[in-house]
Chains A and B, each alone.
Chain A
Amino acid sequence: MANLRDIRRRIKSVKNTAQITRAMQLVAAAKMKKAQDQALGGRAYSRHLLQVLYDIRKNFAHETHPFLEQRPGQRELVLVISTDKGLCGAINTNLARKIVALTSPGADFVTVGRKLRAVCEKLGKKVVADFTVKDPVPFGETRPIASFIGRQFLARNYDKVSIAFTNFYNTLRQEPKVVTLLPLQGHRPDQEQAFELIGGGFSAAAHQSDPDRDFEFEPNPGDVLGAILPLYLNYEVFQAHLEARASEHSARMVAMKSATDNANKFIKELTLEYNKLRQGAITAELLEITTAMKAVE
């Protein structure tokens, strides 16, 4: 049985832990609010961008753009967005599991965030580039990432580019996702599912659009596509970062909250045990005194 001093020491250390996790919870909560607002605010843009692409998909057939080119090859490049810091629940583990399940075995990786870069290296995957993105996510820092993967695709180093990130639903729910970014999907009717992409909120079924609707283009279709497609790539990559960041802070907030709750519960139990022991010790001592007195009489 633990003695009083041991229990006292344990209570003290658990209290320290609770204090730290509580502080981390508060910090994460503040960051979470910002990250969630940013992610939700950005969705309208990426959703409308997608909607425009969806509406004009018929015209893709006449126009060719290198981003639309479907190639027979299987070389895949995966952009993985994980977190730099740990203590955020299981989101990195879940994402890693998803990546292993959904990407081709010979795929190469581009990583953002230290956690999954380490995992990729451990799995013996080739990491061709690594980026760091500040918090909150500035658009200026995700643009080089988008242009890097765009260039890799255009240079025919890879036939397919996917993006793996954690999609944000709400504070308690985040889901890992692997989405094909290039060649841009969805301009063929059988690929309409692919339009339900990053952030959610757009579904081809819910979006009423007449597939035979004709569009004019100003100045001309080639220029418009040439402007929209890179923009789309940039903003999908950006939005994926926003989603991942919102997920990270939400997951960390929840993880830290449950850690604090656990610690507090533990403190309560330990205090109870401590008091019982103390009471027991006092009773024993009293008993000894009374017995001693009795013996003297």
Chain B
Amino acid sequence: MPLHLDIVTPEKMVFSDFVDNVYLPGADGELGVLPLHAGLVTALQPGELRYLRDDNVVTLAIGSGFAEITQTDVVVLTDMALGEAEIDIAQAEAAIQRAQEQLHGVDHSVDAEEVAFLQGIIARSTAAINFKRRHQV
């Protein structure tokens, strides 16, 4: 029985096809999904997503978001999903730098949402950089 994986970001549909298994960075640790998994909705933290398709393991760096798992489908909703080739370390570092500068300018007690948004950028850029470094070696 196949498992259908959808990876969606606000910009586009990143991936939509049948796979053999998926590993997700869940809020409570890494989570492996095989076909016929029990229904589950989980929050995701920035990290690494792996799926196996035609005996090839593909890994992507993803940002925070959440995933819906049913027996036949996995839907991953995240704010970032990048392959190794798409990650530019210099760019990611610049994004962290910018977010940190903005974070200093924001009043933390007033605009909690803005703070969370900027911290999200930092977390996902950091995840992207770690991912790239790990796969370069």
Contact = CB atoms under 8 A, between A and B. Distances in A.
Interface of A: 38, 41-42, 44-45, 48-49, 51-52, 55-56, 139-140, 143, 147, 213-219, 223-224, 227-228, 235, 238
Given A51-B75, A52-B75, A55-B70, A218 B39 contact: no
Contacts, number: 72
Interface of B: 6, 8-13, 26-28, 31, 38-43, 66, 68, 70, 75, 77, 113, 117
Chain A, interface SS category: helix
17 contacts: A42-B10, A45-B10, A45-B77, A48-B75, A48-B77, A52-B75, A143-B113, A147-B113, A214-B38, A215-B41, A216-B41, A218-B28, A218-B40, A223-B27, A223-B43, A224-B41, A227-B43
A218 B11 contact: no
Contacts of B6: 48
A16 to B, nearest CB: 41
B11 A52 contact: no
B40 A217 contact: yes
Contacts of B13: 41, 44
Contact of A217 (B8, B10, B42): B42
A215 B68 CA distance: 9
B77 A217 contact: no
Q: Which 10 A-B pairs have the closest CB atoms?
A: A218-B42, A44-B13, A215-B39, A41-B12, A52-B68, A216-B40, A45-B10, A45-B8, A44-B8, A48-B8
B28 A44 contact: no
Contact of B43 (A48, A139, A218): A218
A229 B83 CA distance: 28
